[in-house]
């Protein structure tokens, strides 16, 4: 998901401003359907593995790390549910809105940072378990 969110942040979301306004709403609906097919399963797997690490923590992983993972998943989860999805819905319902688009791009940095930090955290845990 870390790679996906960086692609979305640097390439995909900025492109919304260049869509043909006459076709913006159908493009947004297609974006929502297509993106959901790609990200829902990995997001659920990430949530479940985050919870699993609380229950079955490898001995080499400090106790705070799984909890930090929970916090980071909470950050991207709440941001997705409370900010990004409503902004996507607004753009799909009303068409392009420069202010909503700006807020979508800017607020998505929160998710980008959370997924990046989580990737670093998970990378360290995998490394520690294999060292």
pLDDT digits (tens, 9 = 90+) for 100-128: 999 999 999 999 999 999 999 999 999 99
Mean pLDDT taken over the chain? 95
Give the tens place of pLDDT for each residue, 19-54. Answer: 999 999 999 999 999 999 999 999 999 999 999 999
Is 39 contained in some domain? yes
The answer on pLDDT for 67 being more than 90 is yes
pLDDT > 90 in the chain, percent: 98
What is the C-alpha to C-alpha distance for residues 12 and 1, in angstroms, rounded to an integer?
14
Which residue range(s) make up the domain with 43? 2-53+64-129
Is 69 contained in some domain? yes
Is 73 contained in some domain? yes
What is the C-alpha to C-alpha distance for residues 49 and 44, in angstroms, rounded to an integer?
9
What is the C-alpha to C-alpha distance for residues 2 and 39, in angstroms, rounded to an integer?
11
Q: Helix axis angle, 98-129 relative to 85-94, nearest 10°?
A: 150
Is 82 contained in some domain? yes
pTM here is 0.91
**What local confidence, expressed as pLDDT, does residue 131 receive?**
87
Q: How many domains does the chain have?
A: 1
Is 125 contained in some domain? yes
pLDDT > 70 in the chain, percent: 100
Residues in contact with 3: Cβ distance below 8 Å, sequence separation at least 6, in sequence order: none
């Amino acid at each position: 998901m870390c790679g996906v969110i960086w692609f979305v942040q640097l390439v995909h979301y900025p492109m919304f401003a260049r869509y043909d306004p006459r076709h913006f709403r159908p493009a947004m609906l297609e974006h929502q359907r297509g993106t959901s097919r790609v990200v829902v399963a990995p997001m659920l797997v990430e949530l479940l593995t985050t919870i699993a690490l609380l229950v079955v923590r490898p001995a080499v992983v400090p106790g705070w790390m799984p909890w930090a993972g929970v916090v980071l998943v909470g950050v991207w989860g709440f941001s997705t549910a409370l900010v990004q999805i409503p902004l996507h819905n607004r753009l799909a319902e009303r068409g392009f809105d420069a202010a909503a688009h700006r807020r979508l791009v800017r607020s998505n940095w929160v998710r980008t940072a959370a997924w990046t930090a989580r990737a670093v955290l998970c990378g360290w845990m995998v490394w520690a378990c294999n060292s």
